[in-house]
Each structure stands twice: as C-alpha cells, then as structure tokens.
Amino acid sequence: MATSTRIAQRVVRQVRIPLADIPTFLCPAILRATSVPLRCVHKQSQCIAPASQRRYITSTAPSVPQNSRVTRKPSLQKLPQQCAGCGALSQTVDSDGPGFYTLTRKSVKTFVEGVSAHGLSAEDEVVKAALERAGPEAASLDLGDLEAPVTYPEPPVCDRCHKLKHHETGVSIHHPSIQSIQDTIFESPYKYNHVYHIIDAADFPMSLVPGLQKLLHITPQRSLNRRSKTGRFYHGRKTEVSFIITRSDLLAPLKTQVDSLMPYLREVLRDTLGRSAKDVRLGNVRCVSAKQAWWTKELKEDIWKRGGAGWMVGKVNVGKSQLFHDVFPKGRKAADKKLGTILPARTALKSNETKDIVLDTVEAIAESIEEGERDSPVGAESPDPTLAQVEVDEELQAAFDKLESSAASSLDTSSLLPPAPTEVDYPSMPLVSSLPGTTASPIRLSFGNGKGELIDLPGLSRGDLELHVQPEHRSSLVMRSRIQPEQQTVRPGQSLLLGGFIRITPTDPNVLLLSYSFTPIDPHVTSTEKAIGTQAQTRESALVNISLPGTGEEIKSAGIFPLKWDVTRQRTGPITSPKAIGIKPENLPYKVLATDILIEGCGWVELVAQVRKKPGEVRSFEREWKQEFDRASRSGEWESEERSELDDADVDPDCPAVEVFTPQGRFISARRPMNAWLNVAGKPAKGKLQGRPRKSMKGVKKAEKKNRAAGAAL
C-alpha cells in the first residue's frame, strides 16, 4: 500500500494534472485499494498547464492559479473504440480510410476533452459573475439553482461518416465476400442466432443472396408436411432465417395493396430459390417499410421476444441500416435479468469500465493521502529525494507497460466480430446513406440487459452499375420514393432508352408494346437507329447519356426475354370480370402477355403486349393443368416436378420478346409481372372535398301537385 501511495502522490502533485484526467495506465497497483470510500476530491473543474518531461525533486509543486485556462493536448485513449456510424475501428493514421478522426474537429475535440455543455447563456454568465463579486451580501439570497443540467456530448462519427452525413461525399469500401460474412456469424457468442435476409423491393428478387442457407448452416425451411421439424442444431448452435422485403412502399401506394401482393411475392421468391423451395411453406417472409412504418412494430416485437443474436445480412443499398433504426428495441434495458434469457459468453471487462474503476480508485487514494498528510508533521521528507524519485519513476514505467499491454490485449484485431459496446437504452444508430458500402464493419448493439443483440453487417456487392455512370448522376440510380410512371408506346421500329445507356428493343418488328418504367432513370422512346447511336456514344443527340465516356464500346446483349406470362384477365377489365360481361379469357380472340424487366438496384420496367391468337388455337395446356389440379385436389398430393415441367412447356415460341443491351451485358433479369401499373391507376383519391348532396324534391313535387289540384277545382 505504501508503493501505491507514493505513486498516487507523485501523480497528483508532481505531474500537476487534475485527478479526473489521470490516464488509466498510470496507477494499476492501486486497483487493490477498493475498501476506501469513493468520492470526488475536487469540487470545481480545473484546467491546469500540461505536464512536462521535467521532474521536480521537491515534495511540493509550484502553485498554479486555479482559474488559469491552458489548452491541453487531447488524449487518443478517449476516442471511441468504434465509429458509431460505419462500425470501423477508430484510427488516426489513414486519413482516407474509414474510422479516421481529425482531432481538431470541434465535435471530436469536445468529446475527447470531456467538456460538458452547461447550456448557460451570456446573460446567465453576467448574473452569475455579479453574484460572485457581491460576496457575503448575496450569500443569504435564495436564487435557486443557476446551473443548467449537465449534458455530455454524444460519441462523434469518423470523418468519412461526417462527410457522408453533411456533404453527401465519400468513397465506398471494398465489399466483403460471402465467406467473410460466414466467418463473422460463426464467431457469434450466442447459442440461438437468427439471420434476417434483407431483400430490396425495388429490384425484387435480384438482391437475394444465393446459397445463403447452406453457407450459414441455417435450419432447413419447414415443408408442407405437418410432421416437419421446426429446428435443427449445427455444432451446438441453432440458426434460423427470415426473409425481410424492405422498402415495400415502392410497390404500391397503400398498405392494403402491398398486403395483397404477399402471395405474388412468395411465388416469385419460390421461383428464385429453385428446387429447394418447391415444397416449403415460406411462412417466414415479411414485407415491411421503414419509411411508412408498415409492419416494423411487429418485427421489433419478434426481435425482442426471440432474443439471441440477430444478424442483418443483405447486399448494399437494400435498406439494412434504415430498418435497423426502426426495429431495434430501444429503451428496454431491464433492471434485472430474468430467467430463461439468452446471455452471451463471458467476456473480459470493457476498457471504459476499467478506466472508470481506475479513476475512482485514484481519487480515493489521493484523498487518503491528503488526510494522512494533515495528521503527519509538516516538512517530513525522504532522506534521499533523488533515490526516491528514481524508484518512483521505475514503478511508474512498469505500471505503464503493464496496463498498456492489458489494454492492447483487450481488443482482438484478428477477430472479424468487434467487441460489444456498453449497453444503453438509446444508443447511436448506424449512418443511413445512399452510398453503396456505407457500413465498413459489423455494428453490434445489445438490448434487454444482455437478452440479445442486433448486428448490422456490411453489404455484399450488388453489381456495381454505378461504376459505369458519371459521378454527378450516380445518385439518380437510387429509387428513393415510389415512381408514378407514364404509359409509353413502343411502336414497330422503335426502342426504349433508359438514361441513354440501357436499350430495350423488341425482337418482332410488328409488335406494339406498352411500357411502364418504374425506375428513377429517365425513359425515352425513339427509333432503333437513333437509340443505337446514342447508346454507343457515336451520335450527338439532345438526349443525355449519363454513362461514362467509353461505355459505348462495352455495350453487349444481356439476353432475350420473352413476354410469356398471360395477364389477359387482369388487363381486360370488365370484359372478363364476372360482375360485368364475364367472357372467359380462353374464348377471346386475343391474349395479353407481359413481363417485368429488372434493372439491378434501380427498379423495373413493365412491358405489356396484346397479340392475336392463331386460328383454331386450342389451350391444351389449360385443360391439362386443370385436370392435374383436380386430380391433386382429390388425392391431397401435389407433384411439384410435373408442375415445373408444365410451366416450362407454357413458353410459346411465337410469343413476343425483347432484347436488352447494357454495359458488359449485365445487371438485367426478368420476373413474372406484378401489374404495378394497375395499382397506380386504381389508387383511390384522398382528401377530395365532396359537394353538398342534392336536396330532395319530393316535398316540392307534392306541393306543386296540390297547387295544381286546387287551381283545377276553382
């Protein structure tokens, strides 16, 4: 205890810094002195000159004015261990990398120096200074508490997040691979894990990560069999998955319309998952909207009840961080842990908690030193001050090396999963930005006093279409709100251009197409010859080509997509409606075919064509399909393989098709039509003022009739 006392005395009196600013590595030996009551020694904040390298031999330090204010160099140890916006580890070396902090930035300087904002105005400062000068005359006045509540600054974000938030400028990070996501989830300290597979509604289902279930050892989907198992453990852990379709407000204007699309979304997802999803239930599909707060409350309650580790996995710009804001259970830090909760593995003491313990213990030891000096005779010194100083310096250096090594060992840089921060009720949320690859490292936030965690993982690569677009037009590729397109007619010999660098051309020159562009890219219908020249950047045109110079040489065919889905019943309106004319679609002399052309990360284009049936055409497929359906209904079975064969046989070789040309022949896919145009056209008008109803004329007619009868009697 004597050694610890000498160390604390040297630190407090010779280094000449306040007790609250003593770094945690100076006095590790006094951690044993926990029996001394802890209370703050200094009642007022002091700003004293910084410590120099020179040591004073005398036992007393020169007096320094209490109110002197000298700027102190900020301590790097007080920086947040991890950026709250992007999750990158804090650093001051690479100014262009994520996690870099400029120590001269105001928010960083305020946080590092620990300056608390009292919120006193200039008038309050004048009144306070006048009362202090008044002396004992104003001591008897009861003026209440002049001090405003102390507020502490929030942890600042790194320079990259600061520029993204305020200036919308930044550079994307290198997107991680699916193997790194797999290794990160395998480091989970929880026994029960749940993967939230985030899929964007703008290009659904192109943002689906293929093969995710096998890579992450996820419990297989429940089949239609009522005896199917509900869970399975792999290596002592249970991992389940839920498909979350985000930004569903892009699909339809009303929540009821989006809910009616759920059967369609399940079938499209089933087609994308392939043979493994033919006989599964797909009851774990949710369609949410963080912007409109559709079904986010229900998802938040599921996360709270489920507990454990929740992993948000998906590609870039699918809305993971925005959804994280709305579904994280805030303000639910329970006082005590309840039975049955899922707790993480035991970890080492956090660095912030260690610093607080050391600082409190240093203050307690310093207080005991002052009390001991008051009892001891004045002027008692060591017989040899030089030897005592050398001994204390050696002890300080040893303590510094010991605590520095322990602080470095608390952060494992080889681990893909960063350490969990201290749980608070309302933590700082991840940064939301349209830049692909904003999140640089996993962001862990605990809830429920250790009941579970929600982890936002970096997004996987999504195709990099923005690399072929000019920097000033890249923000126009992101679909931020619902598009209300105009109906455009593509006549024979014409093509549809999107942004001047994506071309959709019908393969049949005699087919007339109707197009509806649900994309933020400007559509334009022109002749095929002009469209080819504009796309290849060989023709000067008033149409703006937003692609980079030289992109025209990389234009290739992305494939031929037939309009193979029959939407006659949906498109013909009252002709086939049972409440109106009620003609069956197979009895009509024509049919309406459609498909949705998907553009990765941007949206989709709905294409519709009406073609005439061949003379004597017989829908043998429909009869065969109806017979198969009746047989399956009677037997209670369903042959999925035969159904897929019938779907493949439904493709008519004479049906109209389109060919899409894009940079490198990528970023394009197709799906069965959603008929989103019908939802846009059929949106009910809201807020329209209704006029006063027509006044009933029944009484007026009776009065006129009575008057006529009275006149005839006269």
Tens-digit pLDDT profile for residues 348-360: 344 445 445 544 5
> Count of domains in the chain?
4
Q: Which of 245, 249, 251 is nearest to 674 (CA)?
A: 251
Whether residues 447 and 495 fall in one domain:
no
Residue 686 placed within a domain: no
Structure token digits, residue 636: 């209670």
CA separation for the pair 326, 86 (Å, rounded): 17
Rounded Cα distance, 150 and 119, in Å: 8
- 188 and 55 co-located in one domain: no
> Does residue 208 share a domain with residue 189?
yes
Q: Could you give phi then psi for residue 703, rounded to 5 degrees?
A: -65, -40
Instruction: Please give the pLDDT value at position 514.
Output: 96
Residue 504, strand partner residues: 496, 660
410 Cβ neighbours under 8 A, 6+ residues apart: 348, 349, 350, 351, 354, 419
CATH assignment of the domain containing 439: 3.40.50
pTM metric for this prediction: 0.71
| Same-domain pairing of 99 and 239 | no
Say if residue 555's pLDDT is above 90.
yes
Does residue 306 belong to any structural domain of this protein? yes
Q: Which ranges of 376-423 would DSSP assign to H, the alpha helix?
A: 385-410
> Which residues contact residue 178 at a Cβ distance below 8 angstroms, ignoring those fewer than 6 apart?
209, 211, 212, 215, 460
Give CA–CA dist 485/605, Å, rounded.
10
Structure tokens at 421: 């921060």
> C-alpha 266: how far from its chain's center?
23
> pLDDT tens digits for 482-541?
999 999 999 999 999 999 999 999 999 889 999 999 999 999 999 999 999 999 999 888
Q: Which of 123, 156, 171 is the last residue of a domain?
A: 171
Q: Where in the sequence is the domain holding 19, given as residue range(s)?
A: 1-73+352-410
Q: Is the domain of 250 the same as that of 320?
A: yes
Instruction: Examine the fold and report which residue of 456, 480, 513 is the final residue of a domain before the chain moves on.
Output: 456
Whether 285 contacts 245, CB under 8 Å: yes
Q: Give how far Cα 553 sits from Cα of 480, 539, 663, Å.
A: 30, 13, 8
pLDDT at 591: 92
Averaged pLDDT, 37-43: 41
Same-domain status, 55 and 90: no
Residue 587 lies in a domain: yes
User: Which pLDDT score is estimated for 412?
Assistant: 62
Burial of 130 (0-12, 13-18, 19+ CB in 10 A): exposed
Q: How many CA atoms within 13 Å lie on the side-chain side of 379?
A: 0
In the three-class reduction of DSSP (H, G, I as helix; E, B as strand; rest coil), residue 468 is classed as helix
- The reply to whether 183 and 165 lie within a common domain is no
Residue 689 covered by a domain: no
The CA-CA-CA angle for residues 475, 479, 480, to 5°, reads 90
Q: Are 407 and 400 in contact, with CB atoms under 8 Å apart? A: no
d(CA 264, CA 597): 16
Residue 623 lies in a domain: no
Please compute the mean of the pLDDT values over residues 29-58 and round it to a whole number: 40
Angle at 463 between CA 460 and CA 469, to 5 degrees: 125
280 lies in the same domain as 373: no
Across 302-316, 361-375, 613-627, 680-694, the highest mean pLDDT is recorded for 302-316
pLDDT > 90 in the chain, percent: 39
Does 438 have pLDDT greater than 50? yes
Please tell me whether residues 396 and 428 are part of one structural domain: no
Higher pLDDT, 522 or 636: 522
The answer on 546 and 436 residing in a single domain is no
In the chain, the amino acid numbered 629 is F
Q: 139: which residues sit within 8 A by CB, 6+ positions away?
A: none
Final residue of a structural domain among 434, 456, 478: 456
* Structural contact between residues 322 and 280, judged by C-beta atoms closer than 8 angstroms: no
Nearest to 253 by CA among 608, 518, 593, 607: 518
Rounded Cα distance between 412 and 418, Å, is 8
Other CB atoms within a 10 A radius of the CB of residue 514 amount to: 17
Please give the Cα distance from 444 to 184 (Å, whole number): 12
Q: How far is CA 143 from CA 126, 146, 150, 182, in A?
A: 15, 8, 19, 62
Beta-carbon count within 10 A of 646 CB: 14
Asked if residue 285 belongs to a domain, the reply is yes
Residue 704 falls inside a structural domain: no
Residue with tokens 């410590």: 51
Q: Which residue would you say has higher pLDDT here, 585 or 117?
A: 585
DSSP string, 94-134: -TTSTTB--TTSHHHHHHHHT--B----HHHHHHHHHHHHH
In the predicted structure, residue 608 carries a pLDDT above the cut 80: yes
Based on the fold, state whether residues 207 and 251 are members of the same structural domain.
yes
Q: What are the φ/ψ torsions at residue 332 (nearest 5 degrees)?
A: -125, 35
Return the bridge partners of 502, or none. 498
Three-state DSSP class for residue 509: coil
Question: Residue 636 falls within a domain, yes or no?
Answer: no
CB 497 within 8 A of CB 488: no
Looking at residue 378, the DSSP 8-state letter turns out to be T
According to DSSP, the β-strands at 443-447 and 452-456 are antiparallel
Other beta carbons within 10 Å of 665: 14
Per-residue model confidence as pLDDT tens digits over 447-483: 998 899 999 999 999 888 999 999 999 988 999 999 9
Do 268 and 314 lie in one domain? The reply is: yes
In 3D, which of 142, 136, 74 has the Cα closest to residue 106?
74
For residues 530 and 532, give the distance between their C-alpha atoms in angstroms, rounded to a whole number: 5
548, 664 Cβ separation under 8 angstroms: no
CA 704, 709, 710, 712 torsion-angle sign:
positive
